[in-house]
A and B are shown apart, each in its own frame.
Chain A
Amino acid sequence: MNLLPVAYRELVVLARRPGLYWMRFAAGLVVALLSTGVILTHYGAGATPASLGGPLFRSLSYCAATLCLFAGPVLLADSLAEEKRAGTLGLLFLTDLRSHDIVAGKMTGLAMPAVQGLLAILPVMTVGFFLGGVTGGEFARTALALLNLLFLSLAVGVLCSAVLSSGRRAFAVSLGLLGCSGLSFWALEQWATQCPPWLVWLLEVTSTPAAAVPGAWDGKTPCDLPRFQLLLAATHGAAWLCVAAACVVVGRVWRDRAEVSPWRRRSDGVRRGAGLRGLARRQVGSAVLVWLYAAGSVWGLSWLGGQVTVGNVSAGQFVVVAWLLHGAFKLAVGWSAVRALGGERDSGALEMLFVTPVGEVAVWQAWLEALRWRFLRPALLLAAGDIFLAWRWSLGPESSVEESSLLLCVFLGVVLFLLDCYALAWVGMWEGLVARTATRATVRTVVALLVLPSLGCLPLLGLLGTGAFVPLVWLATCVWFGMGFLADVGLGVKTMVRVSDDLREAVLRRVGG
């Protein structure tokens, strides 16, 4: 095996990026903030160090598991796909490198930020151990499960990168595959008793990687070691299978593909209009799927609301499902916005458009209009569905003061949802233009507009919640809305000014760089 040349090259490139050091610092900072929030939330008159240690350790473990799940798609989804697009993968095969050397080299080199991030998080997790309520074995097993999960995430990332030639698609597919595991675990926890046996079995199989982390903990009973070992072995085996598949695939998929058929191109042109507007709509993608998603979400939430009324589903589960559905919609908006001008920049079409009499203003306005055509009405449908559901709920026979105030909370959530979508469209478009890769642009957009405001809520909520003079749902909604609103307006305004003033300079800087 001769993985050293590729790994060495990737490590040298990585070491020259200041982002690596900032990422390490950010990982430590995020878990420190989260720890503060958890401690402040659980702190009360009857709190003891041992009663704080357990919740702190479990919260940080979930946070670390989420970061491990995201690591593979973020770091490796564009690794082999980029080489394929640039045509350099075939050149690598002209040397004495074999496909497993390339895959292993890429994984070793590019996995370093994730490994370092996990190493920054683990010491903070030991705080729970020193406070009490967590045993040494529990900590060691969790650390092992996290490393194993990280390996699987990286393996899935490299496999998707080997199979797909578009970095964005590889990112989406790998994120979807790994996200399925987390969602299956959550669904199993919530509805295991109500599902048919075949569905429970399916959920257990798909949730295996995510289930290994909580499987390492001692609950009321000690950890079930044989089950934990089985989960660990299954995850590890799946990771090696993915690596092996990537090695097999990468030697076969680097060749050029046939062009899209002229018939399909013509039908696309007729359906979405000609000219710049038609081109933008074609690049942004179909609106049908978004409409179906929005309508399906409204129907699903309406059905779930009925189940809450009957008592089959708790209100908390309903809120989590609604949050996930809206979050996925927002991710789709950010994703499409990043693709909007980023794809044109990568193909070199943007510079060509800028030298025509069309000009840059018409270009960004056409792409913005295409995003609006795809997402605005489905977003309004989703928002209207939310308001209608909350209104119907607040008028129900068992209506109380809390349920009446629910309408106001939902209204604030809907306003923030629409504001988030608008800001994501602008910020995503700009980041797609200036960031090095589409994956990085998506991560930056989503972290700045969705993740950081939510994380910022935690310490503030902990500080305000200790006074306990305000109902917690109200407080959480208002703090969350405030942070999200400030992030949307602050970043949205800055980006709108940048897009309207500096677009040409940004594109030329990229071409020059």
Chain B
Amino acid sequence: MTNLTPLLKSQMLRRSLRCYALGWWSLVPVLGLVPALLAFAEFRAVVLGKGNKWNAARRQLQVGSWLAGAGVFLTLIVLVIGALVLMDS
């Protein structure tokens, strides 16, 4: 976990913005699980690899991860409702 290679500033910004974009994609129910996992991976890489550099896209990074969490939650609700309908039938 702690031995990630340090990121260049450009990489850090690009990956933060990628996390933001993937966060929006993860709001698609069920199919959004893959972008959500990718968003979390980008988030983790930036947090652990940014070092002392200032991240201008900090807010996008944070919002992207929150959106990914909301996407996973949405998918979970859809799956639970689907399972209940199946059990009921």
Which B residues contact A (CB, under 8 angstroms)? 1-2, 43, 47-48, 50-52, 54-55, 58, 61-62, 65-66, 68-70, 72-73, 76-77, 80, 83-84, 87
Interface of A is mostly: helix
Q: Provided the pairs A478-B80, A497-B58 are in contact, do residues A485 and B69 lie with their beta carbons within 8 angstroms?
A: yes
Q: When chains A and B are docked, how far (Å) is the Cα of A368 from the Cα of B72?
A: 26
Kindly provide the distance from the CB of A438 to the nearest chain B CB, expressed in whole angstroms: 25
Task: Say yes or no: is A274 at the interface (Cβ < 8 Å to chain B).
Answer: no
A36, CB-defined interface residue at 8 Å: no
**Contact of A368 with B2 in the complex, beta carbons under 8 Å:** yes
A486 surroundings in chain B (CB, below 8 A): 69-70, 73
A489 to B43, CA, bound (A): 12
Contact status A361-B72, CB under 8 Å: no
Q: Which residues of A contact B (CB under 8 A)?
A: 359-361, 365-366, 368-369, 372, 401, 405, 408, 470, 474, 478, 481-482, 485-486, 489-490, 493-494, 496-497, 499-501
Q: Is the interface of B mostly helix, strand, loop or mixed?
A: helix
> Which residue of A405, A470, A481, A494 contacts B62 across the interface (Cβ within 8 Å)?
A494
Q: Say whether, besides A359-B52, A368-B2, A493 and B76 are in contact (CB < 8 Å).
A: no
Contacts of B87 in A (CB 8 A): 401, 405
Q: Chain A residues near B68 (CB, 8 Å)?
A: 489
Check B65 against A489 for contact (C-beta < 8 Å). Answer: yes
Closest partner residue, chain B, to A405 (CB atom): B87
The answer to whether A361 and B1 have CB atoms under 8 Å apart is: no
Given A365-B2, A501-B58, do A489 and B52 touch, yes or no (CB 8 Å)?
Answer: no
- Interface contact A368-B77, CB-CB below 8 Å: no
Taking CB atoms, residues of chain A closer than 8 Å to B76 are 478, 481-482, 485
From residue B12, how far is it (CB to closest CB) to chain A in Å? Answer: 11
Contact between A485 and B62 (Cβ–Cβ < 8 Å)?
no
**Docked pose: A490 CA to B70 CA in angstroms:** 9
Given contacts A369-B1, A486-B73, contact A361 B51 (CB under 8 A): yes
